[in-house]
Amino acid sequence: MASGSNFGQIVIVNGAPRSGKSSIVEVIQETFEDPWMNLGVDTYMERITPRRYLPGIGLRPGGEFPEIEGLVPIFYAALYESIAAHSRLGLNVVADVGHHDAYAEPRRILVDCARRLLGLPVLFVGVRCSVEAIMERRKRGHPGRDGSYLAGTETEPVPPQVLLWQCEVHRPGIYDLEVDTSSVTAEECASLIRKRLGGPAAPTAFQRLAAMGAMPS
């Protein structure tokens, strides 16, 4: 899918765990023209990050592991520099992430990441999903992971960590496109992304986010 330049198109999909991001990425890779490289959070956590530093960039909101937090901005910077390198070589990139700033102290990671992609064609997609749908998916399990601790109980049907993700992952809420996987399929989300990429107006969300770096915290 041409981006109107020699750069590869970048699509960043941002949302809470189990919101359906990976399914959207899979559809894009399988159905969009040209190669689309997946440089998302699962790949970075499962294949790149040493076990002793996990969950790395998948660290949940709430300041749970302050001993790891100092590395998270560096991990994210490395991921986004890799995304930029792929795009500059003409490769399209799709990356699923779960950005938030609810660490033990503010890290402003999203703003830094946006600045690293300045000058490149980036579409920033917010993937929303109802907490009811997320909990249903959690109860079905996640192949390769023990997610039972966040599957809910009779006394606590929605764990606090899940609610915190819902509150924090879409701040500040600046997107080029938003989709809701509670009501549309991954295929429909990918179709909306394709349509937005072919639209007349260039995406600007990452430019606006990068500009926030010049503002006081």
DSSP 171-208: SS---SEEEETTTS-HHHHHHHHHHHHTSSSPP-HHHH
Give the torsion sign (CA, 11, 16, 17, 21): negative
Query: Are the C-beta atoms of 134 and 19 separated by less than 8 Å?
Result: yes
pLDDT reported for residue 114 = 98
In a domain, 56, yes or no: yes
Q: Is residue 2 part of a domain?
A: no
pLDDT value of position 2: 46
Q: For 8-117, where are the E strands, in sequence order?
A: 10-14, 36-38, 92-97
How many domains, the chain?
A: 1
Write out the chain's pLDDT in tens, 217 residues.
545 469 999 999 999 999 999 999 999 999 999 999 999 999 999 999 999 999 999 999 999 999 999 999 999 999 999 999 999 999 999 999 999 999 999 999 999 999 999 999 999 999 999 999 999 998 886 554 444 446 655 566 689 999 999 999 999 999 999 999 999 999 999 999 999 999 999 999 999 999 997 544 4
Residue 217, domain member (yes or no): no
The domain spanning residue 188 has which CATH number? 3.40.50.300
**For residue 201, what are the domain limits?**
10-211
DSSP symbol at 121: -
Domain for residue 165, yes or no? yes
Is 102 exposed, middle or buried (CB count within 10 Å of its CB: 0-12, 13-18, 19+)?
middle
Backbone angles phi, psi at 196, to 5 degrees: -70, -35
216 is a domain residue: no
* Domain membership flag for residue 198: yes
> Phi/psi at 177 (nearest 5 deg)?
-155, 140
Going by C-alpha positions, the residue among 39, 63, 58 that lies closest to residue 142 is 58
Q: CA torsion, points 211, 109, 70, 10, in degrees to nearest 10?
A: -120
CA 125 to chain centre: 8
Q: Do 114 and 210 contact (CB within 8 A), yes or no?
A: yes
pLDDT for the residue numbered 217: 44
- What local confidence, expressed as pLDDT, does residue 60 receive? 95
> Is there a domain that residue 18 lies in?
yes
Q: What is the CA radius of gyration of the chain?
A: 17
**Structure tokens belonging to residue 80:** 């986004």
What is the pLDDT at residue 154? Answer: 56
Is residue 86 assigned to a domain? yes
Report pLDDT for 214.
59
Cα–Cα distance list, 88 to 6, 19, 98 (Å): 7, 30, 24
Helix axes 72-88, 109-116, angle to 10 degrees: 20
